Chains A and B, each alone.
Chain A
Amino acid sequence: MYISFSNKPKQADADGTPRPRGRRTVSSTVVAFGVVSMLTDISSESITAILPLYITGFLGMSTIAFGFLDGLYQGISAVVRVAGGYTSDRIGRPKWVAFTGYAIAAIARVGLLFASGFGALTAVISADRIGKGIRTAPRDAVITASSRPENLGASFGVHRTLDNIGAAVGPLLAFFILLLIPDGYGTVFVASLGFAVIGVTVLGLFVPNVRTRSDAPADDGPDATPSPRPRFQWSVVLSGPMRRVLAAAGLLGLLTIGDGFIYLVLQARSDFAAQWFPLMYVGTNIAFLALAIPLGRLSDRVGRARVFVYGHAGLLAAYLVAALPIADIAATLLCLVLLGAFYAATDGVLAALAAQLTTPETHGTGIAAAQTVVALSRFLSAAGFGILWYVLGRETSILVVAGLLLIAIPVVAVLLRPYMAATGGDSGQSLETTTGEEETR
């Protein structure tokens, strides 16, 4: 390994008690940040879930034109994401960059209480997306900085599990409120604001202000001098192992057509799927959250690149189940579980992989770059698949993509071969010590 893992506080070594390898612990910072993400996801998903009902049923509008804004948001979010990662690397304080992202989203919700119309809603969602773009990479940088290299995968797994609990609870909470109060949209907005505020508060109070630049001053003292030379290097992100990871993520991303199309195939064939269509992404989410920790741990043991690459077999299997002519409940559920497994094997694991292959000074940008490549390539993939769908028909086009994926997985495995088994935890004995007081089960 030629990547250093010098991001641990010095006192960790002073503490000096080596822990048995493979002990299943993650830092309390990771759990705290997981709780922040959970609360924030409850907040944003509760609004997202009721949006269609609110706009059409309550405001009495048909908003076909709303769809075309979505592509724009995707673009903004991608640019902002790299900027967020880069900023957090340059100033070396990912927590406060992330805090800005969370705070923007929370403040936007205040506006919703006073002007609840379509325009206000659009503004809130824009702010939410921008905030999400800003906060994602610094958040993952904090998680990296407060985790031991050898359990980075498990740390991201814990975080993604909590995150997805929020994404599953948010819609249920919103619909529960609407079940009690059928026109209680205002109540949902208040609840959303409440959870956002609690989330930001937990972030401010319970997530330590970790430094990602080793030459940054260790405290917030007023006489802390700015560091003379930030050691941020683009070459860490854009060449060497990271270049291969970005290429791999991009190639696989181009063959990730998006859940939407898979759900549509299922829906067109099965009455069960048609009836439960609005809930399919919740099912995928639940599988994701259930599998994020086990697969994160697996990636710590057998290599993150390996789990990331072979995790796409879950996607491949989901394509096959969707395309094969089995129209029953079991096939639909299996497909959702496979999709969830795919996300669990790739989402947090990719962040862990990017963190593993970058220096502490470039974690934020490296993670952001990987996530941006994935987002953009999936966006292109969805657009391209739509054309294929029309030309070849539903099942055939899915089978074509499945065939390409079947070829791409081994190709990417070869491309990433030098890093397949690397877990970041076996590069030196100092890595077996822990950060001491921040451990929790």
Chain B
Amino acid sequence: MTAKAKWLVIIIVAVVALGATAGVAAFAWSQYQSRQNAPSSAEIAASADWTTSNRIVFRNTAPGQGYGHVAGVPIDDPGAARSLLDIACDRVAATPDSFSCLRTERGITPSYDARLYDSAGNQQLEWPLPGVPSRTRFSPDGSLVATTSFVTGHAYASIGFSTETEIHHVSDGTSLGSLEEWKLIIDGTPSAPVDRNYWGVTFIDDSSFYATVGMTTVGQTYLVKGDIQSRTMTSVLETVECPSLSPDGTRIAFKRVTSGSGPTVHWTPAIYDIASGEVTVLDIEKRNIDDQIAWLDDDTLLYGVPNDTPGDSDVWALSADGADPAQIFIEHAWSPTAVRG
């Protein structure tokens, strides 16, 4: 092949490859624009005032305008038109007075932050997160907020994920530090596996909480009970992820690995009865549930499940005794919190 022919080939290959990319990009861009500008596929309430009633606060994932925005519906009529705030979040949690919003700031290089708003949507506090948002929860009295993010960029070209979980004071945003710096006691012995990661905090009160500690290399996870005063966490139970304490404080809903590992992992919702120590796997739910469960009330669990549209999901309700199959609770929704106040 002559030099000229080689250059011709490479130019053709480059034009085809980059041209195809540009074509796909143009098509995807126009698709995205038309989706964004389309009216929301969910019914939107005329008023964004949601503060008047007990409500479910969630992230609206209905394609169209208002995608990703914080939304609310009345607790006793979850199918009603949703009130939208003009605030986009990846994860949201709420109390009667405020809500926390973990978000990805798009840009030529993305950044991530946590923001606290009052219930009317006025921003109160903000701090950076080291990676993609994962979980957020408030303490029952609303004085503490926990955030978990995936820490990326740890190693050059590494795809290994780790997490960072912190608890902040709602009043002034001060941090109690990364949980990885706290003491960890597993089965009565101080322990410090190199690859430990914490995620999925659920508060008992303003001085204690439950969370997951995971050893990512072997895949072992524990439910730990954390004490804020002594900065110590003590293992309670094995193979528990993303705990969520019931409103009456008697049970913990969590996701348990029921088959597979790594990319084929399958999580099923389960209930841990704190007094009896009994674990009930709610295997009436056959799908893979990858969410931190929320409690609607003492008898009902809520969790998000992706639907057929990429980037969209629905919130499902499952009875905590596993008696009835799960039902859609709110369509096009994600990251629900039941707010009664």
Contact = CB atoms under 8 A, between A and B. Distances in A.
Contact of B10 (A52, A62, A70, A198): A198
Contacts of A172: 108-109
Interface in B1-57: 1, 6, 9-10, 13-14, 17-18, 20-21, 24-25, 28-29, 32
Contacts of A187: 21, 24-25, 28
Q: Decide if the interface of chain A is mainly helix, strand, loop or mixed.
A: helix
B194 A181 contact: no
Contacts of A175: 106-110
Contact of A67 (B195, B241, B311): B195
A69 B290 CA distance: 19
Contacts of B197: 64, 67
A62 B218 CA distance: 17
Interface stretch (A85-93, A212-220, A242-250, A258-266): A258-266
Interface string B215-239: 0111100000000000000000000
20 contacts: A44-B157, A51-B159, A56-B150, A60-B306, A62-B242, A64-B199, A64-B214, A65-B261, A65-B263, A66-B262, A66-B263, A68-B160, A68-B217, A172-B109, A187-B21, A190-B21, A190-B25, A260-B154, A277-B130, A386-B195
Given A60-B306, A206-B10, A179 B107 contact: yes
Contacts, number: 204
A125 B153 contact: no
A193 B19 CA distance: 12
A205 B194 contact: no
Q: Decide if the interface of chain B is mainly helix, strand, loop or mixed.
A: mixed
Given A119-B263, A190-B21, A53 B110 contact: yes
A324 interface: no
A194 interface: yes
Contacts of A71: 160, 217
A265 to B, nearest CB: 12
B264 interface: yes
B138 interface: no
Given A67-B160, A175-B109, A285-B156, 7 more contacts: A56-B132, A58-B311, A194-B17, A195-B17, A260-B154, A278-B109, A387-B194
Nearest to B36: A182
Interface of A: 44-45, 48, 51-53, 56-71, 118-119, 121-122, 125, 167, 171-172, 175-184, 186-187, 190-191, 193-195, 197-198, 201-202, 205-206, 258-260, 263-264, 267-268, 271, 274-282, 284-285, 383, 386-387, 389-391
B302 to A, nearest CB: 15
Contact of A58 (B24, B108, B263, B310): B310
Contact of B262 (A44, A122, A267, A280): A122
Complex A-B, nearest 9 residue pairs according to Cβ-Cβ distance, in ascending order: A386-B194, A194-B17, A70-B160, A390-B192, A260-B154, A67-B216, A67-B160, A275-B128, A60-B306
Contacts of A48: 157, 159
A330 B195 CA distance: 30
